[in-house]
Structure 1
């Protein structure tokens, strides 16, 4: 864990399966992020880009977790073509409402 970063623990529980499949075990992940994720969630909920607070929260968490992994692995060939588009996307998002 980087002491300069915020530390988080995310717990994911599978609570329902429409196909009556066995529910998966709970997964917990501990991770760092340079941003205060709760501030980002609040900002996305205020922007209300999707007309749904739950989706705003999902979007904020998913985007920030993905973005942080990409930043930590910026030299990985997997992100080579995607990085410029992601930067443009983030600029557009930050300039929206």
Structure 2
């Protein structure tokens, strides 16, 4: 199956007390059948979140979470999420009453 490829980097800027982080960034690569950048743009334009950063975090997190669940659907621990994930995705794609557009 053809996939988009992404490199995800997470770097701690500060700790909970505002002290700068000094650890190495977490980096990994992941594939997705979706154009996540396009999804982030659509989610950001809907107006469901108070900032574009929140919208991006939600969209990226959801796509990574959903992709991992689907890739491991035979794992009993993860497969229990499938019905709720499918229902949530159906409702989210339909858009909320306040949303400007559907995803």
TM-score when normalising by structure 2: 0.84
Shift of 1:48: 1.8
Shift of the 21–15 alpha-carbon distance from structure 1 to 2, 3 Å rule, reads closer
User: Does the CA-based 8 Å contact 1:70-1:79 persist in structure 2?
Assistant: yes
**For residue 53 of structure 1, what is the aligned residue in structure 2?**
52
Question: Where does structure 1 differ by over 2 angstroms across 4 or more consecutive aligned residues?
Answer: 18-24
Contiguous gaps of at least 5 residues in structure 1? none
Question: 1:6 and 2:8 equivalent?
Answer: no
Give 1:6-85 correspondences, 5 Å limit: 6-19=4-17, 20=19, 23-85=22-84
User: Does the CA-based 8 Å contact 2:12-2:21 persist in structure 1?
Assistant: no
Distance 1:58 1:36 in 2: 15
User: Does the CA-based 8 Å contact 1:17-1:23 persist in structure 2?
Assistant: no
Report the aligned-residue RMSD.
1.6
Contiguous gaps of at least 5 residues in structure 2? none
Shift of 1:11: 1.1
CA deviation string 1:42-95 (max 9, x = no partner) = 010011211211100000000000101111111110123221011000000000
Would you say how many aligned residue pairs link Structure 1 and Structure 2?
A: 95
TM-score when normalising by structure 1: 0.89
